[in-house]
Chain A
Amino acid sequence: DQQVKQNSPSLSVQEGRISILNCDYTNSMFDYFLWYKKYPAEGPTFLISISSIKDKNEDGRFTVFLNKSAKHLSLHIVPSQPGDSAVYFCAASPRGREKLTFGTGTRLTIIP
């Protein structure tokens, strides 16, 4: 049972445009959500997070939106740059926050 779902395995976006990556979750106990970025042959690196008390969090070009009623979050990257080409993982944890459940990832390709 996949509790965190990233339904788009891949996404291609023109450089300079907005990239929107989506994530859905089923476990209503999740209250903390994170996005990680992964380049080939490297470990994932933390990008941005949001707790369930917020519906938006921004960090530079990256914004995460959380819709609790729909159990949906999205990552917006504006403007998209070639260095953003990577696999993006959504992750979630319940209160207590020690254990993360990851989605299957979305491969983002930025087209110059």
Chain B
Amino acid sequence: NAGVTQTPKFQVLKTGQSMTLQCAQDMNHNSMYWYRQDPGMGLRLIYYSASEGTTDKGEVPNGYNVSRLNKREFSLRLESAAPSQTSVYFCASSPTTSGEPNSYEQYFGPGTRLTVT
């Protein structure tokens, strides 16, 4: 049981380049999330998917797109990278099964460290 996996672990992009961050979970969770963590800012929600086939904006969605490919996979795309997108990106998932205790705790992947020059 690998939990939440993210690829790549590290990436360096030039301004204007595009890339997709991949995330997969093997816990049969319904909901998946993308966060970014910046120094002194905590974790900020970029996008989330409450269930397969749905996506919604979080606190900082500008410059990003997402795809919930299936129940397991949730990708984050940067179409034209900017230095302001230099950050550590975390994917998370949660069971989110109504009525079940502890079903809203989120489980995080190890992160992708992205640098945009």
Binding site for B on A (CB under 8 A): 4, 6, 9, 32, 34, 36, 41-46, 49, 89, 93, 97-105
Contact of B105 among A6, A46, A99 (CB under 8 A): A46
For residue B27, CB closer than 8 A to chain A, the reply is: no
Closest to B108 in A: A43
Q: Taking the nearest CB of chain A, how far is it from the CB of B78, in angstroms?
A: 20
CA distance A102 to B58 in the complex (A): 12
The A-contacting residues of B in range 7-64, CB under 8 angstroms, are 31, 35, 40-45, 48, 50, 58-59
Interface of A is mostly: loop
Task: Count residues of B near A (Cβ-Cβ below 8 Å).
Answer: 26
Contact of A46 among B44, B45, B106, B111 (CB under 8 A): B106
Q: Are A49 and B105 in contact (CB under 8 A)?
A: yes
CA distance A32 to B106 in the complex (A): 13
Number of A-B contacts (CB under 8 A): 53
Closest to B4 in A: A43
Q: Are B40 and A104 in contact (CB under 8 A)?
A: yes
Q: Are B104 and A42 in contact (CB under 8 A)?
A: no
Q: Are B42 and A46 in contact (CB under 8 A)?
A: no
Could you jot down 25 A-B contacts, CB within 8 Å?
A32-B104, A34-B105, A41-B110, A42-B110, A42-B111, A43-B90, A43-B109, A43-B110, A44-B43, A44-B90, A44-B108, A46-B105, A49-B105, A89-B42, A89-B43, A93-B104, A97-B104, A98-B96, A99-B45, A99-B48, A99-B58, A101-B59, A102-B35, A102-B42, A104-B41
For the complex of A and B, list the 3 residue pairs with the smallest distance between their C-beta atoms, beginning with the closest: A43-B108, A97-B104, A104-B42
Q: Mark B103-117, 1 if CB is under 8 A from A, else 0.
A: 011111111000000
Q: Are A49 and B102 in contact (CB under 8 A)?
A: yes
Given A32-B104, A44-B90: A98 and B48 within 8 A (CB)? yes
